[in-house]
A and B are shown apart, each in its own frame.
Chain A
């Protein structure tokens, strides 16, 4: 049968046009501007090509932009570890360990529907040293020694960010794992049980291999989220204390605000490059898996 006839190619037209015009093209235009001196005075002075000057500025500036890039990578790695592993166990617990879990599922998912601004306001208050909820709770249960300056101690601030990020994101990751779990054929487990496999053996030999798809999705979403992270840091610390939690996007934002649009888009392009490389790697692995 003629595939082109059954599956009309024009179905693709509209989504492609929209995607290119409103999504891809603006991004590429940004890349173009990163080679110019685009700034607040452009309207008066005109736009000039400056070659790679913006990129050179980024790496030679005496501001520590490189630290921002490192922080971005660090955040991507750690934030995913602290979300994906607990989420996996919670999902297994809900799926295998308990009946009646609907209410838990609903509640665990709730945080990911709140706007970031609100999360910022709430947690800045909860983390307050003197009258914040967290320190008060620690004191209340006799753990006063664990009181922290959650958002200002250089050794603690990243942990607080990871904590809030996990609070917000674990439910989402868990939901995808739950979907993956429910797709596993029960007979595999029965076979494993007959063989006398314990929890860890089942996890390693049955659950994880069968959940490759779910794990992959979580990695794709998690890594791209991590590289592009902005909101959670912006609302909690805005890159502070000092510049301790600065990431690539917070620098982009600052440069844009001060009218250095060219430099800002150059930074954005670096981020794009980074995500593109990681993206291609992931998509490659994915398509290879499909072929197997």
Chain B
């Protein structure tokens, strides 16, 4: 018994050591976000000589963070919900009705996992469609970009839902759309949550897409704001760090709330042997 306890202790020690390695950079950000400009430039872990809480207020004001936050929220929420829902509809049909044609479509969609995004030509397409400088355009790009990943993840999850269910529901008089939205969709919830969380975070962190797709500062997301504070000749590291803290806070929240679903959704889905 003692040996088992010792072993467990050793394993905890390993985990704690790993946590220290992982958390140190976060601590660096946190501590330095309360320092003065020059003290923050030293980027060490010592506590601030004077705690400058006003860094946060200044960052919110100077970088127009409220507007950036609302944009980021809008893009991440709408694009992700739309992307996950559309992918679920698509993968459901592809998985259930495996005709030659549908199999082809599946692999055609999956190919997207391997393609690099080409912003330059994307901007061109945007122009033709008159979508430049619109929020809807930005959202559409995000939504499209997540389709391959979501279809890939959801497709195999659909297989785990017994087909008998569909037939039973149809016999009970359900329409095809009703069958999907009332019966299948709720059952897909774990994997939808997984996709939602992963994609929400990647949309949140992506600032290149809005940057290329719009030329209006009003449309910029929160992650862009950090650039206001460092430049060629002088950088305000205290503001940079405060800005980082504020920018990752919402993602942290989403992650904290949803993290158990990430594993939950993959459990029965694509990772089964």
Give me the interface of A with B, judged by CB distance under 8 Å: 1, 3-9, 11-12, 14-16, 18-19, 21-27, 29-30, 33, 90, 93-94, 97-98, 101-102, 104-118, 121-123, 125-126, 131, 133, 136, 167, 171, 175-176, 178-180, 182-184, 209-214, 217, 220-221, 224, 227-228, 249, 256, 261, 265, 268, 271-272, 275-276, 278-279, 283, 287
* Inter-chain contacts of B267 with A (CB < 8 A): 179, 182-183
Interface of chain A: mostly helix, strand, loop or mixed: helix
Please judge, given known A-B contacts A4-B97, A21-B144, A27-B118, whether A108 and B25 are in contact too, CB under 8 Å.
no
* Inter-chain contacts of A272 with B (CB < 8 A): 114-116
Q: Mark B86-97, 1 if CB is under 8 A from A, else 0.
A: 110110111011
Contact of A98 among B8, B21, B97 (CB under 8 A): B8
* Inter-chain contacts of B180 with A (CB < 8 A): 11
Cα–Cα, bound, A29→B123 (Å): 11
Give how many B residues have a beta carbon under 8 Å from the other chain's beta carbons: 92
Indicate if the CB atoms of B116 and A12 lie closer than 8 Å.
Answer: no
Cα–Cα, bound, A111→B255 (Å): 12
* Inter-chain contacts of B121 with A (CB < 8 A): 26-27, 29-30, 33
Indicate if the CB atoms of A118 and B244 lie closer than 8 Å.
Answer: yes
Indicate if the CB atoms of B118 and A18 lie closer than 8 Å.
Answer: no
Please judge, given known A-B contacts A121-B240, A175-B263, A179-B271, whether A30 and B112 are in contact too, CB under 8 Å.
no
Closest to B95 in A: A7
Q: Mark B173-186, 1 if CB is under 8 A from A, else 0.
A: 00011011000000
Cα–Cα, bound, A30→B119 (Å): 9
Please judge, given known A-B contacts A4-B97, A30-B120, whether A107 and B19 are in contact too, CB under 8 Å.
yes
Is B193 part of the binding interface, using a Cβ–Cβ cutoff of 8 Å?
A: no
Indicate if the CB atoms of A23 and B114 lie closer than 8 Å.
Answer: no
Indicate if the CB atoms of B116 and A271 lie closer than 8 Å.
Answer: yes
Is B192 part of the binding interface, using a Cβ–Cβ cutoff of 8 Å?
A: no
Please judge, given known A-B contacts A18-B143, A176-B266, whether A275 and B22 are in contact too, CB under 8 Å.
no
Shortest Cβ distance from B196 into chain A, in angstroms?
A: 14
Contact of B90 among A11, A221, A279 (CB under 8 A): A11
Please judge, given known A-B contacts A4-B97, A261-B120, A268-B118, whether A178 and B263 are in contact too, CB under 8 Å.
yes
Shortest Cβ distance from A125 into chain B, in angstroms?
A: 4
Cα–Cα, bound, A202→B265 (Å): 26
Shortest Cβ distance from A201 into chain B, in angstroms?
A: 18
Is B67 part of the binding interface, using a Cβ–Cβ cutoff of 8 Å?
A: no
Please judge, given known A-B contacts A12-B90, A15-B86, whether A113 and B252 are in contact too, CB under 8 Å.
yes
Indicate if the CB atoms of A220 and B113 lie closer than 8 Å.
Answer: yes
Indicate if the CB atoms of B125 and A26 lie closer than 8 Å.
Answer: yes
Indicate if the CB atoms of B271 and A214 lie closer than 8 Å.
Answer: yes
- Which of A14, A102, A268 has the most C-beta atoms of chain B within 10 angstroms of its own C-beta? A14
Shortest Cβ distance from B9 into chain A, in angstroms?
A: 10
Contact of B205 among A4, A90, A115 (CB under 8 A): A115
Contact of A23 among B42, B112, B177, B240 (CB under 8 A): B112
Interface of chain B: mostly helix, strand, loop or mixed: helix
Indicate if the CB atoms of A93 and B113 lie closer than 8 Å.
Answer: no
Indicate if the CB atoms of B28 and A133 lie closer than 8 Å.
Answer: yes
Instruction: Kindly identify, within residues 227 to 260 of chain B, every residue whose CB is under 8 Å from any CB belonging to chain A.
Output: 230, 240, 244, 247-248, 251-252, 255-256, 259-260
Closest to B115 in A: A27
* Inter-chain contacts of A90 with B (CB < 8 A): 18
Cα–Cα, bound, A126→B43 (Å): 8
Closest to A99 in B: B8
Contact of A268 among B24, B111, B116, B271 (CB under 8 A): B116
Is B195 part of the binding interface, using a Cβ–Cβ cutoff of 8 Å?
A: no
Contact of A183 among B94, B105, B129, B268 (CB under 8 A): B268
- Besides A122-B29, A176-B266, A268-B118, 6 new A-B residue pairs in contact (Cβ under 8 A), listed by A number: A97-B8, A105-B259, A118-B244, A126-B28, A126-B43, A275-B114
Shortest Cβ distance from B172 into chain A, in angstroms?
A: 13
Shortest Cβ distance from B137 into chain A, in angstroms?
A: 9
Is B47 part of the binding interface, using a Cβ–Cβ cutoff of 8 Å?
A: no
Cα–Cα, bound, A33→B124 (Å): 12
Is B262 part of the binding interface, using a Cβ–Cβ cutoff of 8 Å?
A: yes
Please judge, given known A-B contacts A15-B109, A114-B248, whether A217 and B270 are in contact too, CB under 8 Å.
yes
Please judge, given known A-B contacts A93-B15, A214-B271, whether A6 and B144 are in contact too, CB under 8 Å.
no
Is B76 part of the binding interface, using a Cβ–Cβ cutoff of 8 Å?
A: no
In the complex, 18 of the A-B residue pairs with CB atoms within 8 angstroms, ordered by the A residue number, are: A6-B179, A8-B93, A11-B93, A12-B89, A14-B89, A18-B147, A19-B144, A29-B118, A104-B18, A113-B251, A114-B248, A115-B205, A117-B223, A133-B43, A213-B272, A214-B271, A227-B114, A278-B114
